[in-house]
Structures are given as structure tokens and as C-alpha cells.
Amino acid sequence: MRLILVIGLLSLIVACGSTPKDVASGPATSQDKKLLVDQYYIGVDDIVSVNVWKNPELSITVPVRPDGKISVPLVGEVTAGGKTPVEVADDITNKLAKYIRDPRVAVILNELRSHEFLSRVRVTGAVRSPMSLPFRQGMTVLDVVLEAGGLNEFASANSTRLFRKVDGKVNTIDIELFEILNNGDMATNYSLEPGDILSIPERIF
């Protein structure tokens, strides 16, 4: 059975500034974009459309309910939360096969409402105003430190760590924040990615 995925997803982020090794490198390719689409997990409050080819009466546009499900005509309840659009399309296709011949299903993400907190960056520890910020393209370590009001008097700047989740594993990246702020050395002024956490510890007296 043929599955069709049509998705209006956020443009793939093009990083600016320095990039830590083994985390991200090079320009986004068409393969990168396909992976981004295929790996997006639908969340509660996302708006999804289910289109069934040649069966407009079965096509719907609905928000994902708090229980993670959507109601699809003819087949009933389908779990969408925590699944990729491809997986949801596959589930609907299998269920529709009991009622119509060779169903062709398109799952479309219209609004990524659940993505709001996934796409934020956070700065914690010895800054004047620890905060969670909406991610913006081109945002760097220095940008979020300045946004948080700079370091407080107890900060251990060169003990700063950037935590980034990649393929389910949290990577720790050393940041020489003292060098960035005081010597203009931007070698570790890395571009940030959605979900990054910058942690500045206090000095041990």
C-alpha cells in the first residue's frame, strides 16, 4: 500500500557562527530535511490534516487531543501523539484497508503547537536572570548570555557547559565563556540549536 506524506514543516535551521565537532556541521542537505520531516513526533495540540485520496468525505483537519488521539471517519480513534506523520499515515492506511480498496493516505502537519517548548533554549546557573528563550536562527552562546543579563559575580565562566540532545543522548560541550567575554575569542561561541541548555556554574570558594 502506498503512503504519501505531505507536510508543511518549519524550514531546516541553517546554523551561523561556530559549530562544535560531532554535533552539527555543513549546510543542510535535502536528505537532512527529509530526516527532519520523518523524525518529527506529533504532540498534543498540533493541528493535523488526514487526506484520503478520492475519498474527501474521510478527510479531516483536527487538533490532537490531550489523550494524544484523533478521530478519523470510518476507522474511529487513532493515536497520533508521540508518532511521526509516516507512522500515523501507516496506522490509518491499515485500518482503512478493511473498508476501501488500496487507500492512499496523506498526513499533513498544519500547525506545530506542541513544538513551542521543544524549540526553546535555556540558560541556567550564575547569570543575572536565568531564563528560557524562544529559539531564533543564528542565536549563539554569547547572545543568550547577554539576554540573561550577563554573568553574576559568582560565575565560573570557563566551567560553562552546553548540553545538547542528539539521537536520544545528551552531549556535553565545553564553553570557554571567560575567553568569549573578556578576550574576544569566539572559538567556542557556538551556534545554538532548539532544546540546548547552557549552564554556568558558580565558583567554589
Residue 102, phi-psi category: left (phi > 0), alpha (psi -120 to 50), beta (remainder) = left
pTM over 0.75, yes/no: no
Residues 27 and 76 in one domain: yes
- Lookup: cell for 204: 567554589
Contact between 199 and 122 under an 8 Å Cβ cutoff? The reply is: no
pLDDT of residue 16: 33
Mean pLDDT by 10 residues, the chain (205 residues): 36 36 42 51 90 94 92 94 93 95 93 78 95 91 97 95 90 96 96 94 84
Q: Which of 115, 139, 166 is where one domain is finished? A: 115
Q: Which of 94, 115, 136 is where one domain is finished? A: 115
pLDDT of residue 78: 96
pLDDT of residue 157: 96
Q: What is the CATH number of the domain that holds 46?
A: 3.30.1950.10
pLDDT of residue 188: 97
pLDDT of residue 38: 52
